[in-house]
Structure 1
Amino acid sequence: MPKKSTLNLEKVTTQIVNWLKSYAENANVNGFVIGISGGVDSAVTSTLCAQTGLDVLCLEMPIHQHESHVNRGKEHIAFLKKNYPNVSSTTADLTTTFETFKTQVPSEGVPESKLNLTLANTRARLRMTTLYYFAGIHGLLVAGTGNKVEDFGVGFYTKYGDGGVDLSPIADLMKSDVFALGAYLKIPESILRAAPSDGLFGEDRSDEDQLGASYDELEWAMEMDQNKASMENFSEREKVVFAIYKRLNKMNQHKINPIPICVINRN
């Protein structure tokens, strides 16, 4: 189970909802579009957006999606529609689009591990393009679903995929905070119980399988790194987790930091 959050959940909910509403009104848009995955991050984000009272479009974008993910997503959308009259939903099945794309790009001679990862990221980027299509025709902002440890700790997201958004309402929350907020917002229990997964590799590969450490462990490592803690008192497992965190943090700086710009010397 996720570790206990120390947040004042009522206060944080109010702050995020007000921030979302103010940002949308200042941008002169109608509301938000969110990709629904069946995971806790998209469930919490969409519920917070729904509480603004502005239009919220929940978009399902299956690409060979596992049935359990689809079912959890549908359950959450039904929960939102029951409780928030400003929520609507639609589905854009991108499986055929993805399969057509694969016929137009080279794959022969590409190492299988590299090909599988690249195609997984392509799935996320097709979804980003679809979100912006619906955002454009309905006058909406694309709401991001990344949390703090993913976005700024280990860079566990697809650049210009699920990382391609207009605003990030939960990006200053750790995963444990997101779970706590999800319970407070009464999102479906099936989502709170499910092992976190990006859904890009089927049901068999959770986020922990891909990362090599749980979110609780990575949150701990992020805190230790920020506090410049000494590894001398770490247990063997803690040393392994800290090494995983440092490796991922270093290799994904190109995601975590802003796009580098070559500043021209005009003197």
Structure 2
Amino acid sequence: MQTEKVVKHIVNWLKNYATNAGVNGFVVGVSGGIDSAVTSTLCAETGLKVLVVEMPIHQAESHVSRAQEHITQLKKRYNNVSDTRADLTPVFDEFKTEVSLDGDQAIVDMALANTRARLRMTTLYYYAGLYKLLVAGTGNKVEDFGVGFYTKYGDGGVDLSPIADLLKSEVYTIGDFLKVPESIMKAAPSDGLFGDARSDEDQIGASYPELEWAMQMDDEGKTDSDFEGRKLEVFKIYKRFNRSNKHKMVPIPVCTIPDDLK
């Protein structure tokens, strides 16, 4: 990958899109992870207004400290960056008092995890409307178009996606080029939706390098019969997530009414 040229391409794309849309810049939710760190830095490189928002909900301390380190670094490097913090913990806790928490605990936990992401999306769009900004998504190619590892209308609810054509490994390469804090570069990727430090690999059962490999194999038309051992296990994991999350990757189904019924 021609890293410097890719960075310039994304920055120009962001700036042109915002200019043509007649907005002031971007708002980005920062989590202490590599994707949001790279996305917010790319947005900052445009020279347009960038608001980074920290939105903890019973967040693991390691996530909070990395997010704050990144915000501090970003504001020192770019005078067009400002920040705000919206502690959504009380909002989330109040939400839980108004809904049923009965049923299988694993299902309830997942529903609540997705609720966290949707509360954050709502917060980002509040600030976007307040300051005439675009919500910049932080999803990468493997998450958005491979395993669908994001929340529909949560972190998937954005105005534009600057890094969604980059594999996770490529995001790290750009992160290194952009001098993202070392603590973020070395941290295990995590969605931070469960209030603990569990990693994406813990949830998925495969690492991002493994998922990138599986995505490439799937694109080449490979099937289960082509692999054995760990490779077969990873390929099956990838295919299972890709299949079950396909609804996130295709347009919303629309019931088309035949002309003779109108």
Same fold (TM over 0.5): yes
Q: Which residue of 2 aligns with 1:70?
A: 64
Q: Which residue of 2 aligns with 1:31?
A: 25
Describe the SS at the equivalent of 1:259: coil
The separation in 1 between residues aligned to 2:25 and 2:256, in whole angstroms, is: 36
The separation in 2 between residues aligned to 1:101 and 1:229, in whole angstroms, is: 45
Q: Which residue of 2 aligns with 1:3?
A: none
Of 181, 205, 216, 2:174 maps to: 181
Cα shift at 1:232:
4.2
Of 138, 144, 147, 1:151 maps to: 144
Q: Which residue of 1 aligns with 2:3?
A: 9
1:168 counterpart = 2:140? no
The separation in 1 between residues aligned to 2:236 and 2:227, in whole angstroms, is: 11
- TM-score scaled by structure 2? 0.97
Describe the SS at the equivalent of 1:141: strand
Q: Which residue of 2 aligns with 1:212?
A: 205
Of 87, 102, 120, 2:113 maps to: 120
The separation in 2 between residues aligned to 1:260 and 1:178, in whole angstroms, is: 31
Alignment of 1:23-102 (within 5 A): 23-102=17-96
Cα shift at 1:233:
4.5
CA deviations over 1:157-189 (Å, ceiling 9, x no partner): 000000000000000000000011100100000
1:190 counterpart = 2:183? yes
Alignment of 1:218-229 (within 5 A): 218-229=211-222
For residue 109 of structure 2, what is the amino acid of its counterpart?
A: N
Gaps of 5+ in 2: none
For residue 73 of structure 1, what is the amino acid of its counterpart?
A: A
Alignment of 1:128-139 (within 5 A): 128-139=121-132
Aligned alpha-carbon RMSD (Å)? 0.9
Cα shift at 1:235:
3.5
Count, aligned residues: 260
Stretch moving more, 127-136 or 231-240: 231-240
Gaps of 5+ in 1: 1-6
The answer (yes or no) to whether the contact 2:224–2:236 under 8 Å persists in 1 is no
1:199 counterpart = 2:192? yes
The separation in 2 between residues aligned to 1:176 and 1:204, in whole angstroms, is: 21
The answer (yes or no) to whether the contact 2:116–2:193 under 8 Å persists in 1 is yes
For residue 228 of structure 1, what is the amino acid of its counterpart?
A: G
The separation in 2 between residues aligned to 1:107 and 1:235, in whole angstroms, is: 41
For residue 197 of structure 1, what is the amino acid of its counterpart?
A: S
- TM-score scaled by structure 1? 0.96
CA separation of 1:119 and 1:164: change in aligned 2, threshold 3 A: same
Alignment of 1:230-249 (within 5 A): 230-249=223-242
For residue 217 of structure 1, what is the amino acid of its counterpart?
A: E
Describe the SS at the equivalent of 2:134: strand
The separation in 2 between residues aligned to 1:264 and 1:230, in whole angstroms, is: 38
The separation in 1 between residues aligned to 2:196 and 2:183, in whole angstroms, is: 15
The separation in 2 between residues aligned to 1:260 and 1:244, in whole angstroms, is: 26
